[in-house]
Amino acid sequence: MSGKPLQQILNLLPEEMVSLAKKELGHSCFPFVLHIPKLVNILEATPENLKTWLTQEEISLYHQYKLDKRKGEYLAGRICAKAALTDQESSTTTEQLPFSELTIVNDSSGRPVFSSHKQNLSMLDLSISHSNEYACAMISEDL
């Protein structure tokens, strides 16, 4: 993904959190953190960006949430996961997928996993979390 929406996301990133996590966790882990209220403000200003960040399946799920707080957590968690994947892909020779071509679904146990028609991403472990005003995601590679 390139262009203004990604730059807006990167401007929300608490750099010190990610730098510390990368230093402590090593090269096979890719964390990403976002401040949820700032992300929601961007979405309210430019709602068309939702189609840039989420697939149609994810947008449908997003609209099913009734509470704005839960919508923000869902959106920020998905974007964190996709941004972490972009970071992981940039460290390898893997082609970077646009966010809109990468779906995050839950497996039978409720665990989030990447789904793509273009790449096999089953070797990646994904964790998404949110607390108060922050959402984060971390990817680790099966070694």
Whether residue 19 has pLDDT greater than 50:
yes
Tokens 């972009």 -> residue = 86
Whether residue 75 has pLDDT greater than 90:
yes
Q: What pLDDT sits at residue 59? A: 93
Q: What pLDDT sits at residue 32? A: 80
- Of 13 and 136, the structure prediction assigns the larger pLDDT to 136
Q: What pLDDT sits at residue 45? A: 82
Give the pTM: 0.77
Band of residue 65 on the pLDDT scale cut at 50, 70, 90 = very high
One DSSP character per residue, 51-74 reads HHHS-HHHHHHHHH--SHHHHHHH
Q: What pLDDT sits at residue 26? A: 57
Q: Which contacts of 56-61 are long-range, i.e. CB under 8 A and separated by 24 or more positions? A: 57/103, 57/105, 58/103, 58/104
Band of residue 60 on the pLDDT scale cut at 50, 70, 90 = very high
β-strands 103-106, 112-115: how paired? antiparallel
Q: Of 27, 20, 21, nearest to 92 (Cα)? A: 27
- Please enumerate in sequence order all residues whose Cβ is within 8 A of that of 133, keeping only pairs 6 or more positions apart, or say none: 35, 36, 37
Which sign, positive or negative, has the C-alpha torsion 99, 101, 106, 112? negative
Helix runs in the chain, H state only: 4-11, 15-25, 36-45, 50-53, 56-64, 68-90
